[in-house]
Structure 1
Amino acid sequence: MAKIKHNNFLETVNEVFTDAKQEGVLHLYADENEFPGRTIIIKGNKLFHFGTTGYLGLEQDKRLKDAAISAISRYGTQFPLSKSYISHPLYKELEECVAKMYQTPIIITKNSTLGHLGVIPSAVDDQDAIILDHQVHWSVQSAAKLLKTRSVPIEMIRHNHLDMLEDKIKSLSNTRRKIWYMADGIYSMYGDYAPVNELMELAKKYSQLHLYFDDVHGMSWTGKNGTGYVLSQVGEVNEQMLLFGTLSKTFGASGAVLACSDKKMYDKIKTFGGPLTFSAQLEPASVAAATASAKIHLSPEIYKFQKELKERTQYFNDLLKQTNLPLIDNNNTPVFYIGTGMPRTGYNFVNRLMKEGFFVNLGIFPAVPVKNTGVRITISRHNELEEIKELVDAMVYHFPKSLVDKPGKLTHLRRMKLTMANGLPRFDL
């Protein structure tokens, strides 16, 4: 099959998104004046919310809200100056709290996308190479792509395919200094795990191998001090690893965090780091809310929240096992994915569930392959057991009905051949 050329890729994304928008399942607006978390109002309809990435519900915690309000009153809505010159007064406490969580030096970034854009070009030298997991987050792929201009080799392997990774390491080891493997800790669409322990063993076997993890979706709901899935497996950040977490999503505030135990590399990234130097710093309200959340993460309360979420995800898992719904990956994360096939079927399924009173996320290209469209369901502490049961019942009823195809508008997709690898679309890097 022919590779996706850049213009074809953008044309495909535009056509898929436009069709999804016209079907009323994408680019929506919430209606309500207040947002409690458990429900969301769309087009005047109150729906149970199964699309949030705030798995622990901390974005609605009064302590975070009060901290943000107080910070605005004291410091204003923003601190309009680069951190290279001066950080506003609240940053120091946040950095100290988050470093205590990770037990290693950390760098706070505006968000994970800007963080990757700053860190990857700083951490990866011209003599290094990059290997990307096929499903690593778009923001990591996009940042890595910048290094093509420096002639850094960028390879891609099938998702979690360690034999293929080892072959790539062997082929690059004689010509490259460090070999960076970039992966997610928890993958954002299917909710599956990176084989972290196996990767650590591979890094012991090959000293050139360095691991770069985006664990944004593993944050808070698992691990000591809520530091995420990767650290729950390995215990600490060693010098062959860079680890990204988030201060938004499950953390309940805004921003992202890089954990780095290699002092020389830490200093290099901290000193400049591209967007880390030139981008605006986090607003006082965001920093204050993040600090309030970090204090919760450093307390026993975080384990209570984790337990409450685990009870809900386990209940959802137990219910799904009693059905024939095509769950793409069986796991214990808060992220679940029901495959529907082509985009049209996904639109049908989402619309049917919305009419039944449930909001779920459409999983669509380029987040997943075109023919792997589906519905991403996320479970949070906001969800009660009764509506979880009702959602499963609704999915069992509506899934087979959604498979009845309607005439589609995606004529470009029918003309276009997509390069696939292990069931996934290949992006030209």
Structure 2
Amino acid sequence: MNKFTNFSKMIQISEPSWEVAETEGLAGLAVNYQNAPFLKHEDVSFINMCGCSYLGLDTHPAILQGAVEGVQKAGTLHLTTARTRLKISMLDELEGRLSDHYKGYTASYITCSAATAAFLPIYASGTFTQGVKPTMVFDKYAHFSMNHVKPICADETEVLTSPHNDLDYLEDVCRNNNKVAYIADGTYSVDGFAPIKDLIYLQDRYGLFLYLDDSHGFSVTGKKGEGIVLQEMGGINENTVVVASLAKAFGACGGMLLSGRKDMVERAVRYGNPWSQYLNSAGIGGCLASLDIHNSPELAIRQQRWRKNLQIIDDNFTVTNSGTESPIRVVLLKSPEAAVKSAKLLFDLGYYTSAVFFPIVPRDKAGLRIMPSANLSTEQMVDFCNKVKEVCKGQLLLSH
């Protein structure tokens, strides 16, 4: 009996929609940048309206040059030895600068999934809680990259799944257990945020440990790109770990694990998938260049342009996350079929959107996930909105 995962059921429910998306030419497209923001697939030129490079830094000349210089400085693309034995010297520079920038202790990973897989099982073992194995509570809507390690954590300790953002449930667990860890998204990939202020209250009262993935909130908010979680918390503390993408709004590649405790980072690196590859020299160079941008006036300029483009979406549609600083908007439609059909029509008109359906969203929802970038002009945003209205006419679940 499945306790924590059910891949068979997930595939059974979602496969028909994925098959339709692939048949319509909306999945697995091989592309190259033609002239940013335009991508090209075969002979088709289009704008990607569902990319995670929210600030448009993925094509920034300084980051691309940083990647080139990273390879040149290291003299290799990748040092094929586990970082616990040997590592490219620039890795220390990057992690030192990330630690200084975000005021904590940092380790970088090739993905946020690798960071999560490294850290959570070790935390479940009781290593960081004086041998007392914590009860681990995963939010129902925690990202797949975190849910994926539930069975491994459950081999070490008790694992529970809480209703989404249910503080009463979580507090009840805290009252009845000595050590509790809560695992959730800071900024969710479809809708909403973790209730940070309430979680801080539980942390102060019960010593609740927080593991929050703020990949979608990172870089887009905060004077230095701290993101939603660190902003609301006022910085990292010893009872919190934040994992965040260095590949989305940050504009480079990989992920970052940020802790208020040095020993947590050191043991995650040493014992959590130590065989895994770390960032190669191009990735390190790109991340260093992005940090330069995060310490310059350009960050605020791009954040403002991004907010303006979000507002254009909010002004035209009734969408999830309207009026918030989540970078994600979903135009809700009546069915998965309507979502795929609308996405296909938009692609033919020069805009790629993501048709979302289960398991990306709950089974009773479907729609177009839209993530506007700072590098799109007002004219492009208005044209896109007009085309969405045109192709989705009669299929919008909620009208503006």
Structure 1 length normalisation: TM-score?
Answer: 0.85
Within 2, Cα distance between the matches of 1:233 and 1:45?
A: 43
Within 2, Cα distance between the matches of 1:180 and 1:219?
A: 22
Distance 1:81 1:394, change over 3 A: same
* Other-structure match for 2:141: 135
Whether the 8 Å CA contact 1:343–1:370 is kept in 2: the answer is: no
Within 1, Cα distance between the matches of 2:137 and 2:393?
A: 39
Q: CA deviation at 1:117?
A: 0.4
Give deviations 1:50-99, integer Å, cap 9, x for gaps: 11100111111111111211222342222211101111021121112111
* Other-structure match for 2:16: 15
Within 1, Cα distance between the matches of 2:10 and 2:49?
A: 29
5+ long unaligned stretches in structure 2: 127-132
Question: AA paired with 1:328?
Answer: T
Question: AA paired with 1:366?
Answer: P
* Other-structure match for 1:222: 221
Within 2, Cα distance between the matches of 1:370 and 1:18?
A: 17
Q: CA deviation at 1:401?
A: 4.2
Q: CA deviation at 1:248?
A: 0.9
Question: AA paired with 1:376?
Answer: R
Matched, 1:157 2:154: no
Q: CA deviation at 1:43?
A: 4.8
Taking the TM superposition and a 5 Å limit, the aligned residue runs for 1:327-346 are: 327-330=319-322, 331-346=324-339
Q: CA deviation at 1:6?
A: 4.0
* Other-structure match for 1:56: 55
Corresponding residue pairs, total: 387
Superposed CA RMSD: 2.2
Whether the 8 Å CA contact 1:187–1:193 is kept in 2: the answer is: yes
Whether the 8 Å CA contact 2:331–2:396 is kept in 1: the answer is: no
Equivalent residue for 1:169, pick from 144, 166, 174? 174
Q: CA deviation at 1:403?
A: 6.9
My pick for the range that moved more, 52-61 or 309-318, is: 309-318
Give deviations 1:209-267, integer Å, cap 9, x for gaps: 11110011111111231121101111111112111112111111111111111234333
* Other-structure match for 1:303: 300
My pick for the range that moved more, 278-287 or 367-376, is: 367-376
Q: CA deviation at 1:141?
A: 0.7
Distance 1:213 1:36, change over 3 A: farther
Within 2, Cα distance between the matches of 1:76 and 1:266?
A: 26
Give deviations 1:191-223, integer Å, cap 9, x for gaps: x2211111111211222x111100111111112
Question: AA paired with 2:254?
Answer: G
Distance 1:6 1:92, change over 3 A: closer
Distance 1:379 1:6, change over 3 A: closer
Q: CA deviation at 1:16?
A: 3.2
Equivalent residue for 2:362, pick from 366, 369, 372? 369
* Other-structure match for 2:182: 181
Matched, 1:398 2:391: yes
Report the secondary structure of 2:82's partner residue.
coil
Question: AA paired with 2:366?
Answer: T
Report the secondary structure of 1:130's partner residue.
strand
Within 1, Cα distance between the matches of 2:395 and 2:44?
A: 21
Whether the 8 Å CA contact 1:37–1:49 is kept in 2: the answer is: no
Report the secondary structure of 1:79's partner residue.
coil
Within 2, Cα distance between the matches of 1:13 and 1:318?
A: 32
Whether the 8 Å CA contact 1:345–1:403 is kept in 2: the answer is: no
Within 2, Cα distance between the matches of 1:373 and 1:291?
A: 38
Taking the TM superposition and a 5 Å limit, the aligned residue runs for 1:309-324 are: 309-320=306-317
Distance 1:384 1:18, change over 3 A: same
Distance 1:206 1:292, change over 3 A: same
Within 2, Cα distance between the matches of 1:62 and 1:116?
A: 31
My pick for the range that moved more, 73-82 or 192-201, is: 73-82
* Other-structure match for 1:66: 65
Whether the 8 Å CA contact 1:51–1:361 is kept in 2: the answer is: yes
Whether the 8 Å CA contact 2:57–2:63 is kept in 1: the answer is: yes
Report the secondary structure of 2:35's partner residue.
coil
Give deviations 1:377-412, integer Å, cap 9, x for gaps: 0011121111111122222222234579xxxxxxxx
Within 2, Cα distance between the matches of 1:88 and 1:141?
A: 32
* Other-structure match for 2:241: 242
Within 1, Cα distance between the matches of 2:216 and 2:396?
A: 30
Equivalent residue for 1:348, pick from 304, 325, 341? 341
Within 2, Cα distance between the matches of 1:188 and 1:228?
A: 14
Report the secondary structure of 1:132's partner residue.
strand
Question: AA paired with 1:105?
Answer: Y
Whether the 8 Å CA contact 1:48–1:358 is kept in 2: the answer is: yes
Matched, 1:37 2:36: yes
Within 2, Cα distance between the matches of 1:100 and 1:348?
A: 47
5+ long unaligned stretches in structure 1: 405-429
Q: CA deviation at 1:311?
A: 2.1
Q: Percent identity?
A: 24
